[in-house]
Amino acid sequence: MARVQHLIGRHLWVKRDPAWNAVMETIALPLFSDPERDALLQWIDLERRQIDWDAIHRTAEQFSEEQRILLRIAHALFNEGPCQLWELGRMSSRGRSAAMMIIGLRYL
């Protein structure tokens, strides 16, 4: 329940900001376990509106390749950089669907 609290009340702005929403929706994907999600959330400071991407990528070194690709896509979307869409070919159909959803959220 604590994870849901991130988007309630004073953090509702996240849903209105496409870049932040894409990041938080990526981390909320069922492709990440609760312990993995918790490990990532420690590097996201909603109060200061900052993300320590270097720490997120270091943390994700122990995650699956698919999870790391999703985090790289979220990082690119957050910074309005190019997504390496060729990486989608290295993902399962479930991972590709999740990536396309995240990309869609960012540009709606």
Task: Identify the pLDDT of residue 9.
Answer: 63
Cα separation, 43 vs 87, whole angstroms: 24
CA proximity to 85, closest of 72, 107, 29: 72
* pTM of the model as a whole: 0.84
Rg, the chain, Cα only: 13
45: exposed, middle or buried (Cβ count in 10 Å: 0-12, 13-18, 19+): exposed
Q: Which residues of the chain have pLDDT under 50?
A: 1-4
In sequence order, the β-bridge partners of residue 45 are 50
Task: Identify the pLDDT of residue 54.
Answer: 97
- Tokens representing 17? 């900001």
